[in-house]
Amino acid sequence: MSAELETKVKNVIEQIRPYLQADGGDVKFVRLSEDNIVYVELQGACHSCPMATMTLKNGVEATVKKVIPEIVSVEAIEPV
């Protein structure tokens, strides 16, 4: 796994966060797998929102993949 790629992913997520925070939610980077899958934790209002999957795929994942084409997908994990 590339530390440079992980840094790029974190930077893109930081740019997305204010839009989610404006609606009472948030997203937290958890890890980047060796097969370029980004794992995030949806927080705040995003965690319980019925539209969270759509936000994750159409918002977060689409943006990350547009900026970093080598990313395969963005997946949400349940908070521990």
DSSP string covering the chain = --HHHHHHHHHHHHHHHHHHHTTTEEEEEEEE-TTSEEEEEEEEHHHH-TTHHHIIIIIIIHHHHHH-TT--EEEEE---
Per domain, the residue ranges of the chain are 3-77
pLDDT band at 16 (very low <50, low <70, confident <90, very high): very high
pTM given for the model: 0.90
What's the pLDDT score for residue 48? 80
Return the CATH architecture of domain 3-77: 2-Layer Sandwich (3.30)
pLDDT at 55: 86
Q: What integer pLDDT is reported at residue 50 of this predicted model?
A: 83
CA-CA distance, 26 to 29, in Å (whole number)?
10
Q: Is residue 8 pLDDT above 60, yes or no? A: yes
Asked whether residue 37 carries a pLDDT value surpassing 60, the answer given is yes
